[in-house]
Each structure stands twice: as C-alpha cells, then as structure tokens.
Amino acid sequence: MNEFEQPTPPPAQPAAEPVHRKMQRFADAIDQAVDVVVKGQPGVVRHILVAMLVQGHVLLEGNPGTAKTLLVRTLGRLCQLEFRRIQFTPDLMPSDITGTSIFRPDSATFEFRRGPVFTQLLLADEINRAPARTQAALLQAMQERIVSADGHDHELSDIFTVIATQNPLENEGTYPLPEAELDRFLFKLMIDYPNESAEAAIFRQHGAPTSSDEFSGLSEKPLLGSSEIMAMRNVVYAVTVRPDIADYALAIIRATREHPYLRAGASTRAGVMLLRAARALAATYGRGFVVPDDVRELAPSALRHRLYRTAAAEMEGTSTDTILADIIQRIPPPR
C-alpha cells in the first residue's frame, strides 16, 4: 500500500500520521535532496513538484551557468520515472521530438518510431534556441498528452511532464516562444544567481578533495515514482478552497486586465490553474485547505508569462513582476 494511502488503524494502535503531514514531509525531503547538488534556489523544486501534481509543465528561465539543467537532471535522478532530455538547437526538426514513420519493406507498411517526447519526465533544454516550427511540435503533447502522426493518435503517459529551460531573449541565438506555447506552461520560474552564502557553499563543495561527480552526496534511493505522484494527486483533490479565497484569486486575475501597463491580462484558464496549483501547494505544506498566502506565493510564477506589457511599460523598463507585485499589494487578502 502506498504511503499516502491512509487506512483506518486498529483501535489498539496509535493514530496514523495525517496524510497531509506525510505529504509535507515528502516534499521537504525532495527539497533537501536537490539542495545537496543545487544550492541557492529556494522554492523552485517545490513549485516543480506542485506542477507535476496538477499535470502542469514548467519553464525555467535564467542566464547561462545558473544550474537550470543541473537542477532538472538532479530531480530526474531522484525520480523513479522514465526521464529523457532533448537539447534544442537551430537545426532540430519536429520529427526529432515526436517521432517519425519508417517504411518496412518486409511488410510494405509504415511503422511509427516514437521520439523522446514519449516519456514521463522530459527535459527540453534551451527550448528557445530552436525555431518556432520545432517548438510548436510540443504544443499538442503538452496540452492533450497525445501525438498525432499519420492519421493516428499516440497517447502519452498520465505522468508526462515537460520541464523546459530557456535563456533570456537578450542572449544571442534565441527565439521567442509563441504565445500559445507559453500558455501551455503552468509556471515560469526565474532562476537567478545564488546569494553570497549559497555561492560560497558551492565553491567550497567543488573545491573539496572528493569525487568529481557533480551528483556526489546525492541519495541513491529514488524519492519519487509514478505511484507516489498518483497517490499525492488524490490528496490534492481533497484540498478545499473557501469561496472567499476563490474570489481573491478572481480579483487578482481581473486586475491584470485593467492595469494601465498591461495590454493583455490573464485568462480564465490561468485563474483556474492558479487555484489548482494553490491546492497542491497547500498539501505540500501539510494543510487540507488553501490560504491566501498560497495564492500570493504562486501568482507571479503562474501569471508572469501570460501577461503582455504596453509599449509605455517597456519603454520605462517596468517588468511584469513589478506590475504583478503592485496588483497583489493593492488587493487585500481575505481574513
């Protein structure tokens, strides 16, 4: 029986640990395990776990050398999931992602050879270095978990999750992601340089006379598998959202449509996904209910890539995160 399934204990035994506390302990263990390899990125791993629990995808953006790829590879090592990586380059073709049909002379038929998208955890590395046509090959897979080829639909795993990395658009050789593709990502997480103390710990770790393996010290025991994800999803389904919390999320969404520095605000789907993610975040914090802080914590990650600034905001250098912070600050949370 999975550890998140909570049977009724016999009267003579002590009460079982509450299922939400188990989930919090599990999420904390993943945070701590990844921190052994990738330091100075608080909250990122928990938000990735939240996305996996609500069938969402994650876009990581940061300058080269900020351990975006290493973070996902570390998470892949801790997961007992099928893990694949695609390195996006300007000459990558859509068929290199989804697969292609091969003619079989012996049977005079075409056989579909599945591409790397047929996995459970997919790292799309430097996704914005490929042209839009290739990026669009992921659209159907991310939204419907289906790949259509030669008139047939090929289903992907229910666990299928894309974690994509991208460099800022100012970097040479990058292409902007299409708006439709950006909307397929539940979160856009910003990966910044670590603070001084975290960076000092990284330097000391790599300067120590130990193994040169970047994963040295990482637990060999997988912490996450498909059975754990499915069991935790059942826990998330039971998390409650009070009507006033839902109204609070709605107020944030509608405010993005009225802000003078935004030419396009968040959609209804963005608000629904924000609430779903807030339920998962509450569960990882050991609660069976959502509080306003859950919505406040996730709003920037869930909305920053779905908002589009006006020309005036771009000329003044006002970032989307600054606009979101202003909106969240002005809307009083429910008590």
Distance CA 308, CA 323 (A): 11
pLDDT confidence of residue 213: 67
Phi-psi label, residue 113: left if phi above 0, alpha if psi -120 to 50, beta otherwise:
beta
Is the Cβ–Cβ distance between 94 and 136 less than 8 Å?
A: yes
CA distances from 81 to 73, 177, 224 (A): 12, 27, 8
Distance CA 160, CA 117 (A): 9
pLDDT confidence of residue 210: 60
pLDDT confidence of residue 185: 95
pLDDT at residue 150 tops 80: no
> What is the percent of the chain with per-residue pLDDT over 70, rounded to a whole number?
91
Mean pLDDT across the chain, nearest whole number? 88
pLDDT at residue 211 tops 60: no
Q: In order of start, what are the domains of the chain with their CATH numbers?
A: 17-195 (3.40.50.300), 239-335 (1.10.8.80)
The label of the residue with tokens 């069991």 reads: 231
The contacts of residue 190 (CB under 8 Å, 6+ apart) are 61, 62, 304, 321
pLDDT confidence of residue 103: 79
Query: What digits encode the pLDDT tens for the residues 254-305?
Result: 999 999 999 989 999 999 999 999 999 999 999 999 999 999 999 999 999 9
